[in-house]
Chain A
Amino acid sequence: MSPSSQMQPGPEPAVKKSLLVVEHLTMRFGGLIAINDISFVAADREITAIIGPNGAGKTTVFNCLTGFYEPTIGRLTLNHPQRGRFMLERMEGHLIPAQAGVARTFQNIRLFGAMSVLENLIVAQHNTLMRASGFSFAGLIGLPRYSRAEARAVERARYWLDRVNLTARADDPAASLPYGDQRRLEIARAMCIEPALLCLDEPAAGLNPRESADLNRLLLDIRNEHGIGLLLIEHDMTVVMGISDHIVVLDYGRLIADGTPEEIRSNPAVVRAYLGEEEDEDLPEEVAHDIDVKREDD
């Protein structure tokens, strides 16, 4: 950087606020150590990617975060920008999304297939509606307070349908949507709980390049417009390198690197973890890119 540019009063470097603090997270299943003493910080308003070869323990981290597993050791602190601090590992499963504002999508999509697309988004606003309706009984009599709450819920659902381009399919059963649409609907549903942290488990899996590019845009928009933090597990390196602000690399349950995409790309430990194994699809971007170029040539 030249001295002259240092003189310029550039944009103030935003002070990073930590949203999720993972400390010494360890998860054992009997004798198997799925994750071993992992610590990292995910900042607010940033996209943090967790990458690593298959079986590295990425999804286990998610399961600990969302209350599916109780960590053997470790602390998971979520600093909600409005609601304060939550110790996730001590919370009951359903309170993690309801109070701490942690939303999650799955690698194998878990929509409510028999419900309509719109209803999938309204069910995610259950707690707001429950409170407004006085445990549903007021809703039955049709109190205006409830109808207003419901109207707001539908409005929010419509907004997200519009964001993921599914407005036309609002009344179809969710199971009838094509794969790519189901993935976007799952993200929309997660956003309907108004999360502070959105955890996405391989959102780009099975998407074609165009859908994948759309997804990148959607995730960046969510970060920029809604000001929340995203935690992303992803194998597709174009997605990871393209949109992440921060990358955490796991291998065999241990944390082997933690830094910006540029740092990760040149980190020898990461390269070893990826290239040390044969036939691994999770390649650094350069390699993945080369292969893509070759494929296109074919």
Chain B
Amino acid sequence: MEYFVQQLINGLTLGAIYGLIAIGYTMVYGIIGMINFAHGEVFMIGAFISLICVMVLGMFGLTWVPLALLVTLIVTMALTAVYGWTLERIAYRPLRGSPRLAALITAIGMSIFLQNYVQLLQGARVKPLQPLISGGFEIMRREGFVVSLSYLQLFIWILTLVLMTIFTLIITRTALGRAQRACEQDMGMASLLGINVDRTISLTFVMGAALAAVAGLIFLINYGVIDFYIGFLAGIKAFTAAVLGGIGSLPGAMLGGLLIGLIEAFWSGYFTVEYKDVASFSILVLVLIFRPTGLLGKPDIEKV
């Protein structure tokens, strides 16, 4: 029981990271119907920018953790969003209207490019960061086994919850969100109502990148080490989460992220840690075979 609760806590934390990245996949898929395989790299860049930002703040003597985290969060979201915007502008927009395969190959190309770009600039070695937030609550204790919820995990949950709420509000309540949903359904018609489709797509990339940046920051402070390759696995897992939840569906991406996080945590806890990736990707295969629309997805009807 104690073990179960502990894995549940760990799984939810992991799920928060996957969920935040998965939203980027699902939004971009929803609006332009392509899988942005470079999104994992955007997450990795977010982690690097957070690390650099924390270091720079430390250099200037800003070591009070809450303020440092807030500044890092804002700077990381902003800079990573610029990466997201640039990615769309130079790699995807020129291919608008070309076959999906072209965009997909470009996405994979951008993914490789960004990995090498960071490797070249930051080196291939892992980058460590000393823990910023330590301590925690002790929830349960029996026979020497302590179930703990660290302040760090609590911070991650709250941050994720707040961001997802803001995000859901943007999509459902604001003019921008309405324009995004309109473009998702019928781009030509949206344009005929005066909606700037190109700008709406750019903003979708910006929003997805900002959320991936937060996931990067969380990854950094949760694990304490990053390297240029973290985007690959995290990106594919988040993609799995988006497919599990139903690609194109926002609540689906959040739910899928949580489920993948939990599955991984429990698999590592009760079976073997070595095969946790097998567990997640088996889910991907099973979903694609038995329920291609995912848990909350709508059946994809090809538009004429």
Contacts and interface: CB of A to CB of B under 8 A. Distances in A.
Given A110-B186, A114-B181, A133 B192 contact: no
A112 B194 contact: no
The B interface is mostly helix, strand or loop, or mixed, namely helix
Contacts, number: 81
Interface in A115-131: 115, 119, 122-124, 126-127, 129-130
B198 to A, nearest CB: 8
Interface string B130-166: 0000000000000000000000000000000000001
A94 interface: yes
A110 B192 CA distance: 11
B193 A124 contact: yes
Interface string B191-225: 11111110000000000000000000000000000
Contact of A94 (B176, B186, B197): B197
Contacts of A135: 176
Interface residues of A, number: 32
A126 B194 contact: yes
B175 A110 contact: no
A9 B196 CA distance: 51
B74 to A, nearest CB: 14
A126 B181 contact: no
Contact of B189 (A67, A98, A110, A129): A110
B169 interface: yes
A94 B175 contact: no
Interface string A100-114: 000110100010111
Contacts of B176: 130, 135-136
B282 interface: no
A258 to B, nearest CB: 27
Interface in B281-304: none
B173 interface: yes
A94 B191 contact: yes
A133 B174 CA distance: 8
B174 to A, nearest CB: 4
B194 A98 contact: yes
Interface in A169-228: 189, 193
A77 interface: no
The 3 closest A-B pairs by CB, nearest first: A98-B194, A136-B176, A129-B175
Interface of A: 66-68, 93-98, 103-104, 106, 110, 112-115, 119, 122-124, 126-127, 129-130, 133, 135-136, 139-140, 189, 193
6 contacts: A103-B192, A119-B178, A122-B178, A123-B182, A123-B193, A126-B179
Interface of B: 166, 169-170, 173-179, 181-182, 185-186, 188-197
Given A94-B195, A140-B173, 14 more contacts: A67-B191, A68-B188, A94-B197, A110-B188, A123-B195, A124-B193, A126-B178, A126-B182, A126-B193, A126-B195, A133-B175, A140-B166, A193-B193, A193-B194
